[in-house]
């Protein structure tokens, strides 16, 4: 599943990494440069293997033709597709991630604690894939500070809470703006409740602060957002209705 749209003069393609549910990856084609934001789950998740590479190839885009990969954070469903058989999938690409995210995972944190809500195999995947992938990417991974521009108008902005080094990617081109907000919100039912947090949010206090700040700004400026786990392609705008926010999906012209 692909959806094409433009931000200024940038050709953007949203690619679904899954058949069911949502993992919305973004490909940006800037002049002479292909940039991918997040990489799906790859082959790591046996239940819902990542379809990103297959779908890019079907669209005529080979993995070696990707110049840059930006990782919003290192949870398995965002970084898993960056590694295949222990090697970088996008072999020629420089990979960018916030330094705080690399430092968080280097400590091998227990991201998910034991719980009757999921089995041990899933918990192991969530906890062990990210540091393993970060190690496997070490030759091509740049741990950068917030504000770093990967290309003109494309910058990683700190959005801590979901994970300590979570980033929102701001894309500004020709008067248009898109905030790729990844996992800032991941359940459409909860957008209206600004204090909602879930087990996947590492810091429940910080995540609410970050979410409020970004959503307040996005709603005031009517900024286009792209969210990773909202129904494909995950594009829409938020409006502040006083107590919370409402989400209006952005209708795209047929590709």
Task: Name the residues that contact Zn ion, by CB under 5 A.
Answer: 77, 183
CB of 22 to Zn ion, least distance (A): 9
With respect to Zn ion, which residue has the nearer C-beta, 45 or 55?
45
Q: What is the DSSP string of 16-54?
A: ES-SSS--EEEEEEETTEEEEE----TTS-SSS---HHH
Rounded to an integer, what distance in angstroms lies between the CA atom of residue 44 and that of residue 53? Answer: 14
Minimum CB separation from Zn ion for residue 228, in Å? Answer: 5
- Residue whose pair of structure tokens reads 């995950």 in the numeric block: 234
Residues 6+ apart with CB under 8 A from 193: 244
| Location of structure tokens 């392609």 | 233
The nearer residue to Zn ion, 84 or 183, going by C-beta atoms, is 183
Q: Is the Cβ of residue 58 or residue 204 nearer to Zn ion in the bound state?
A: 204
Distance of alpha carbon 65 from alpha carbon 81, whole angstroms: 15
For residues 144 and 10, give the distance between their C-alpha atoms in angstroms, rounded to a whole number.
Answer: 23
Give the residue with the Cβ less far from Zn ion, 158 or 172.
158
Q: Smallest distance, Å, CB 200 to Zn ion?
A: 8
Cα 105 to Cα 72: distance, rounded to the nearest angstrom = 14
What span, in angstroms and rounded, lies between the C-alpha atoms of 87 and 83? 5
Nearest distance, CB of residue 87 and Zn ion, angstroms: 23
Q: Which is nearer to Zn ion, 11 or 127 (CB)?
A: 127
Q: For Zn ion, which is the closer residue by CB, 63 or 81?
A: 81
Least distance CB 165 / Zn ion (angstroms): 14
b/e string for 167-192 if b means 16 or more Cβ within 10 A?
bbbbbbbeebbbbbbbbbbbebeebe
Task: Work out how close the CB of 71 gets to Zn ion at its nearest, in angstroms, rounded to a whole number.
Answer: 11
Q: Find how far residue 234's CA is from the centre of its chain.
A: 11
Residue number, 177 or 183, with CB nearest to Zn ion: 183
- The two tokens of residue 245 are 């926010």
| Least Å from the CB of residue 187 to Zn ion | 11
């Amino acid at each position: 599943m692909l959806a094409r749209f433009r931000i200024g003069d940038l050709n953007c393609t949203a690619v679904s990494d899954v058949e069911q549910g949502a993992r919305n990856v973004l490909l940006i084609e800037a002049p002479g440069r292909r940039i991918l934001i997040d990489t799906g789950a790859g082959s790591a998740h046996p239940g819902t293997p990542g379809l990103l590479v297959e779908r890019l190839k079907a669209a005529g885009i080979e993995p070696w033709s990707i110049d840059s990969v930006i990782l919003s954070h290192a949870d398995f469903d965002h970084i898993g597709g960056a590694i295949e058989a222990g090697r970088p999938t996008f072999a020629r690409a420089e990979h960018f991630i916030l330094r705080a995210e690399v430092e968080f995972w280097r400590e091998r944190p227990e991201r998910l604690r034991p719980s009757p809500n999921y089995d041990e195999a899933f918990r192991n995947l969530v906890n062990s894939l990210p540091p393993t992938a970060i190690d496997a990417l070490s030759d091509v991974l740049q741990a950068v500070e917030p504000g770093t521009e990967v290309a003109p108008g494309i910058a990683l902005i700190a959005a801590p809470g979901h994970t300590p080094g979570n980033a929102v990617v701001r894309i500004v081109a020709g008067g248009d703006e898109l905030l790729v907000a990844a996992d800032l919100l991941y359940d459409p039912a909860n957008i209206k409740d600004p204090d909602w947090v879930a087990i996947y949010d590492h810091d429940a206090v910080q995540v609410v602060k970050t979410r409020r700040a970004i959503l307040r700004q996005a709603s005031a400026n009517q900024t286009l957002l792209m969210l990773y786990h909202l129904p494909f392609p995950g594009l829409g705008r938020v409006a502040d209705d006083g107590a919370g926010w409402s989400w209006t999906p952005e209708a795209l012209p047929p590709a």
